[in-house]
Structures are given as C-alpha cells and as structure tokens.
Amino acid sequence: MNILIGDYCSAANESARHFYFNRARATAMAENYSCFGAGSAAPGGIREIPNTQTGAGATPAGSDLLEQAILSQHAAWFEHLRSAMGAGPIDLIELPSYYPFAHIVKRMLGVRLRFVLHGMNSQMLAASYENHASLFDYVRAWHKLEQSSICVADEIVAASEREKTAFTEQLSHTGDVAILDPCLFMPRSLPWSTGRGCTRDDREILHIIYAGPLDGIHQPHRLTELTPRVRDYEVHFRAYGPSLKFQSIEASEIVQSIAPQIDIPETDENWWDIEDPEHTIVAYPGIANVHWIPAYAALRGYTVCLSDAAGCKRLFDDRGLTYYRFEDAAELRPLPWATRVQNAQRLRAAAQGETVSNASIEMGERV
C-alpha cells in the first residue's frame, strides 16, 4: 500500500513525527510511506517529497470570507501538496486533524482518506482566552472546515482515549474511531541528557517551565499558580513553544499580559538542552487531549508536574511513573536522580516494546 502522509514532519509537531516514523519502521515491508519532508530528514522507511513548486498556486476557496482567510494562511501547504501529486501512485492519504482541509485534499487526489485526530484547531481556538470576542467567528470557520473533513473521511483514528471522547462529544460523531497505542507517539531511542549533577544549596534557583504551543487549551499562563508550592528556592517561570496566531492577535502577547512573570524565550528549539534537569520542573497545566511533551521530558530526565486533564496522564499512570499533580498542594522540588532514571527506563521500555510494532501493523491491516 502506498500511503501519502500530508504533514511536514517538522520538529514543531514532534509527537506526530515520531508517530509516522515508528509506523514506517514497523511496517516498511508491507507499506510504502511518502511524506512532506520539509525541514526534517526522514529515516529509512519514509520517502521524502521535496517541494518542487515555484509559483504560489491557487488557494482552494472556502464558503465564506473567514474560511477563505484560513485557507489563504495555509497556501504554502496546498502548494506543497500539489508537488506531491506527481510523486507516484497513492492508495491512501493520511491527514492530521490540525490540518482540517481533508475534504479539499480528497477532492484533489480522489483516493481513500484516513483522518488522524491529533488536536482539533477549533477546540484549541475556543479555549484561547475567551475574553477576546473577535475569536467567535474565527472559531466557527475552523469548526466548519473540520466538520467538512470529518464527513468525507473513510477512516478516523484517535491519538488517545481522551481525544476520542472529546471528538465524539464536541463534533457529535457517531461512526467508528480507533484508538492508537500512545507508545506510537514516543521516540524509540532518546539520548539520556542528564547525570547525577552536583549537590547545590537549597537556596538555588528552580526553573518551572512549560513546553508546547502557547494557547488557551494548553494554559501556560497558569504556571504561576505553582508559586506557593515552591519553598527554599528562588523560582523562575519560562514557556517554550510556538505562538498561536488568530487574526491579528498573538497568543504569546496574551500569555504575558495575564502572567508577566513568565519569560517566553525567542526560540523553542532544544529546550531540553537549555534547561538543567537537576533544577527544573516541566509543568503541564492544560487540558489538551493529546500532548506528549511531558513524556519526552521524563525520557530526558526531567521532573514532571502534570494536570489531571492532560491526555498523556494515562500513559504516566499505566507505566507507573512518579510525577507531581498540578492540582495538589504538596511542595515542589526536583525528584531524586534514581526516580527520574526509573521513569525514563519505564517509558523507554514501553516505546521500544512490541506494542508499537503490533499497533502499527494492525492499523495498516484495517485499511
């Protein structure tokens, strides 16, 4: 089967990138994957498709002005897709739900469509600081695009149980939705980025950081709520991630207007190399149905503080990881080195286990 993955596979969507790569490795003998390889070197198993288009091309039309504006913002994505259409025979095209243009793509290619739920933009936008009334029509336009994509999908799969539940409830979907193994979104191997470190004075600085998109559903502005739980440290807050932009409003500006104590660095790349796991806690206060960055943090030796509403909480619980709950009142301090090593070992064993290979093959066989 020849599968075209309609995504950039860039570091900005790291969990989706691992999802594609893990499946390609596990099913390389049975399926041929092609992917938009802009900005990332794909390993063996995925054939990269370079962007050969030089013109801007025509942007597909939406039914109203706001839909047209959203489609125009992603004109480069459609341009890249046109360059993939001549890449060879395609049996199935697979699109992540954060590109809700599947109805347009299926009409362009005329092939079977798989829709992978990995965060719905209308849900993210609706949660992005509702004091901004200008969002309403914009959210509605995204929602209409998503509904059109869902209606034409031949197959829908969800990245977590929470994602499936939210999808069926908020979009009133009654069809089948398969749930993927969360280990499919984990890296098979990841360098251990910390040693024991040195023992420092209890009065040292503690960094509490958030990593991921800066928007309302991930709620990075809530980091400062953890201040009363930090003792014997001077606490600094940082948020790493891309800023969601809707119309003329930057989400990063909203975060800093709500919580000016939070520092937002100019780059979100390699935050795990910038921070020190011995003196940093990676906190996730949000309600996203899929968000695997806390798991990457645990793999890299960081202490994690996790919201009960996080989509990856079940993964932490199922694998017996030690972490802080965002809703607790207990004192926050980095976990002991041995505990962090054990967390990383349990996650690494899960990511390298047979469940990854089996889930990959089963999803291909259903089609």
Residues 129 and 243 in one domain: no
Residues 232 and 84 in one domain: no
Between 29 and 194, the higher pLDDT residue: 29
Residues 153 and 285 in one domain: no
Domain contains 117: yes
Residues 228 and 152 in one domain: no
Q: How far apart are CA 77 and CA 347, in angstroms?
A: 34
Query: Maximum Cα–Cα distance for the chain, whole Å?
Result: 64
Domain contains 343: yes
What is the chain's mean pLDDT, rounded?
77
Residues 33 and 174 in one domain: yes
Answer yes or no: are the C-beta atoms of 283 and 209 closer than 8 Å: yes
Q: Is the pLDDT of residue 40 over 60?
A: no
What is the pTM (predicted TM-score) of this model? 0.77
Residues 108 and 210 in one domain: no
Q: Is the pLDDT of residue 31 over 80?
A: no
Domain range holding 319? 205-351
Residue 271 sits in a domain whose CATH number is 3.40.50.2000
Summarised one tens digit per residue, pLDDT across range 139-192 is: 777 778 888 888 888 999 888 888 888 888 877 788 889 888 888 888 776 655
Q: Compute the 3-state secondary structure of the chain and give helix, strand, coil in percent, each to the nearest 5.
A: 40, 20, 40
Domain contains 227: yes
Residues 54 and 170 in one domain: yes
Residues 161 and 15 in one domain: yes
Domain count, the chain: 2
Residues 283 and 334 in one domain: yes
Q: Is the pLDDT of residue 300 over 50?
A: yes
Domain contains 341: yes
Among residues of the chain, what percentage have pLDDT more than 90?
A: 23
Q: What is the DSSP string of 129-159?
A: -TT-TTHHHHHHHHHHHHHHHHHH-SEEEES
Residues 167 and 270 in one domain: no
Between 328 and 272, the higher pLDDT residue: 328
Q: How far apart are CA 46 and CA 353, in angstroms?
A: 21
Q: What is the DSSP string of 238-293?
A: EEESPBPEETTEEHHHHHHHH-TTEE--S--TTHHHHS-GGGEEEEE----S---H
Domain contains 188: no
Residues 212 and 279 in one domain: yes
Answer yes or no: are the C-beta atoms of 168 and 177 closer than 8 Å: yes
Residues 175 and 257 in one domain: no
